[in-house]
Amino acid sequence: MERPPVPSHPETERTEEPESDETSSRSGGSRARREAVEILEVVLLSVVTILTAWAGYCAASWSTHSRLDLAHASTLRIESNRALGVADATKNFDASTFNTWFIAYTLDNKQKMAVAERRFRPELERAFRAWMATDPEHNPDAPPGPTYMPQYREPGRAHAAALERQADQLAAQGDHGGMLADNYIRISLVLASVLFLVGIGSSFTTRGVRWGLTITGAVVFLGGAVLIGTQPLP
C-alpha cells in the first residue's frame, strides 16, 4: 500500500540563493587584506628578529672591546709608574755619585774624585763633561749640576711619559666603546618594542587595530634601523 505524499510547507522550505558578485568581491577583498597584514607581520617579525640579534652582538662586541681597552690602559699605567719609579731611582743615584765627587772636589782629593767619576753612568758622564766645560767654579751662570744640563737624558722618564700617553688613549677608546655598547642596547630595546607591537597585534581580530599596531611597529622599526646605520661597526 502506497503512502500518501507529504504535503510541503512553504515556511519550512529553505531556498539557497546564489551569492551575488558584490558579496563575493567584498569577501575576496577582505581575505586579501587579511593576508596582506599577515605577510607584513611575518616580514617585520623576521627582519626585526635578525636586526635585534645583530644589535645584541654589536653591544656585546663593543662591551668586550671596552673592557679590554680599559684593562690594557690600566696595565700601561702600572708600567708607566714602574718606569717612573726606576727613573727617579736612577736620577737619585746620579745625584748621589755627583755629590760624592763634589765632596771629594771640595777636599781637593783627586783620588776620590777619580773613584767617584768611575761610578758615573754614561748619561751622567756626558752631562758632567758638558757641565765642567761651563767652568762652574768661576761662572756664576753655570747650572747647579750636570743633571740640569740639556745633555742629561732620562730615557726611563721619557718611556714613562710615552706609556702614560698610550694609557690615556686606550682609556678614551674604552670609554667610547662602552658608550657605543650602551647605544646598541638602547636600539635593541627599541626593536624589542616592535616585536611586542607586532606580536600583540596578531592576536586581534579587528582589522583596524591590527593594521594600526603593525604600521606603528613598522615606523618604530625604521627608526631603529636608522639608529643602527648611524653607529660604527665593532
Tell me the mean pLDDT in the region 110-126: 92
On whether residue 42 sits in a domain, the answer given is: no
The counts of H helices and E strands in the chain are 5, 0
Q: Tens of pLDDT along 141-174?
A: 999 999 999 999 888 888 999 999 999 999 999 9
Residue 11: inside a domain: no
> Following CA atoms 154, 159, 160, 162 in sequence, which dihedral angle do they give, to the nearest 10 degrees?
130
Residue 35 is predicted with a pLDDT of: 77
Side chain identity, residue 23 = T
Structural domains counted in the chain = 1
What integer pLDDT is reported at residue 30 of this predicted model? 67
Residue 82 lies in a domain: yes
Residue 5 within any structural domain of the chain: no
Q: What is the pLDDT of residue 116?
A: 92
Is position 127 within any domain? yes
37 in any annotated domain: no
Q: What is the pLDDT of residue 15?
A: 46
| CA-wise closest residue to 157 among 97, 96, 82 | 82
pLDDT at 1 over 50: no
Decide if 95 contacts 147 (C-beta within 8 A): yes
Q: Answer whether residue 204 is part of any domain.
A: yes
Strands (DSSP E) contained in 141-211 are: none
8-state DSSP, 149: S
Print the domain residue range for 191: 48-230
Nearest Cα to Cα of residue 129 among 98, 156, 91, 158: 98
Tell me the whole-structure pTM to 2 decimals: 0.68
In a domain? residue 58: yes
pLDDT digits (tens, 9 = 90+) for 51-87: 999 999 999 999 999 999 999 999 999 999 999 999 9
